[in-house]
């Protein structure tokens, strides 16, 4: 299956949310009700190692905070954009998530 068909297949079988990342092309969240798209933030890319893991951590953090799904995607894209601007799988030092609570990645 292609990723769109596969994502819908999983949602149809009871998985409440399926997130698909596509690098510079952004990310999509599939639910029973709709598909939400969030574009990736355009930044100078040095190394994509760890971008997916950082995206997932950002999404989960935002989701646990109770934010709306579209805001979870935006936050996840923002965190991933911080990662790809440096060499290696994470940003140097710690990310202060409290300063990112209302991130507008556009």
Catalytic residues: 53
Q: Are 58 and 51 in contact (CB under 8 A)?
A: no
Each residue of 24-34: b (16+ CB within 10 Å) or e? eeebbbbeeee
């Amino acid at each position: 299956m292609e990723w769109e068909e596969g994502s819908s297949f999983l949602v149809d079988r009871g998985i409440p949310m399926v997130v698909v990342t596509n690098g510079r092309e952004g990310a999509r969240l599939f639910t029973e009700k709709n598909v939400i798209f969030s574009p990736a933030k355009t930044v100078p890319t040095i190394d994509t190692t760890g971008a997916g893991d950082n995206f997932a951590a950002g999404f989960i953090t935002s989701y646990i905070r109770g934010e709306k799904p579209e805001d979870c995607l935006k936050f996840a894209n923002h965190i991933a954009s911080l990662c790809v601007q440096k060499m290696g799988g994470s940003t140097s030092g710690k990310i202060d998530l409290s300063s990112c609570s209302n991130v507008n990645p556009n």
